[in-house]
Amino acid sequence: MIKVENLTKRYAGQPAIENLDFEVGKGEIMGFLGPNGAGKTTTMRILASFMPPTSGRATIAGFDVFEQSLQARAHLGYMPEHVPLYNDMRVTEYLDYRAALKGVPHRRVAERVGDVRELCGLKEVEKKLIGTLSKGYRQRVGLADALLHEPDLLILDEPTIGLDPNQIRQVRELIKNLGKQHTILLSTHILPEVEMTCSRVIIIHKGRIEACDTPENLLGKIRQAGGVVLEAKVGPDNGAEELKKISGVRNVIVDADGDWKIFSLRVESGADVREEIFRLATARHWIVRELTQRRATLEDVFVELTHPDAV
């Protein structure tokens, strides 16, 4: 559905993205991750035909986003970051206007506007001025707009930014349901959301693709799969030194809670060191009140790929 080849964009000579290559197949929900300024918005704007690339090529549904921009745009529902809207229009008025712009046939406008209004929960604000809407409703108007012309592909730039946890959950459900009929490319900073909704993930850093895989594979690939937390009374022993000797343990951070010591262990990928810890604790007569393994999350993958010093 999306095909990107060697895509490069420079602003005044400064590269924003360099030689991006990726594909998004029909029916996929692709997560687009990266730190601020990594080039996510630039890539999405190029895909939406808002700006041309410096070099390289991108096609949407087979149409070049620059050469056949009108056809490409007709296949695309795009929701820009921060959802800019005309504040002086009313919700239904705006959706009617957008439907006409997007070439929804005249006799189907009322039906389509009604459908997206229903789907995005805009029924109760349909007559309100957009300028008076809350952030959550504005976001939904943007999403409704993107869906109006029944596009095959949705590009959503941070659809959940600035929403409260309940709204995030609603939008996530909505995206999941949309994924059944549409191909979706979405960028976000909320990583648990990606794990829950996306079938594949691209992580981009400083304009380059660092990883492109399913969330499960990414988790398997990173060097340390999460860690282990141990809370124990270790008496006079230097617990951290002892724990470091266990094979598979990369790093130990110690915290204290009265007499209790809290050890946070970072371990190698695939290693389960809990048994060894139990043996060590019994041998040294440590009193253990907690021993848990924390599963690696996409957050760990993200940090490892985009900020290697922090690991």
Q: Contact positions toward other proteins, by CB under 8 A?
A: 11, 45, 48-52, 70-71, 73-74, 76, 78, 80, 82, 84-89, 97-98, 100-103, 106, 142, 145
CB of 80 to other proteins, least distance (A): 4
CB of 231 to other proteins, least distance (A): 50
CB of 99 to other proteins, least distance (A): 9
8 Å CB contact between 98 and 113: no
Instruction: Name the residue nearer to other proteins (CB basis): 83 or 280.
Output: 83
Return the closest-CA partner of residue 87 out of 128, 59, 56. 128
Q: Order of strands across the sheet with 249-257?
A: 249-257, 260-267, 227-233, 287-294
Tokens coding 148? 């109006």
Residue 174 CA to residue 186 CA, distance in Å, equals 13
Instruction: Name the residue nearer to other proteins (CB basis): 183 or 306.
Output: 183
Instruction: Name the residue nearer to other proteins (CB basis): 64 or 213.
Output: 64
8 Å CB contact between 307 and 222: no
CB of 97 to other proteins, least distance (A): 6
Instruction: Name the residue nearer to other proteins (CB basis): 96 or 195.
Output: 96
Instruction: Name the residue nearer to other proteins (CB basis): 89 or 303.
Output: 89
Q: What is the secondary structure of 171-195 as a DSSP string?
A: HHHHHHHHTTTSEEEEE-S-HHHHH
Instruction: Name the residue nearer to other proteins (CB basis): 138 or 266.
Output: 138
Residue 46 CA to residue 52 CA, distance in Å, equals 6
CB of 146 to other proteins, least distance (A): 9
Instruction: Name the residue nearer to other proteins (CB basis): 10 or 176.
Output: 10
CB of 189 to other proteins, least distance (A): 20
CB of 81 to other proteins, least distance (A): 9
Instruction: Name the residue nearer to other proteins (CB basis): 49 or 59.
Output: 49
CB of 140 to other proteins, least distance (A): 14
Instruction: Name the residue nearer to other proteins (CB basis): 18 or 145.
Output: 145
CB of 126 to other proteins, least distance (A): 18
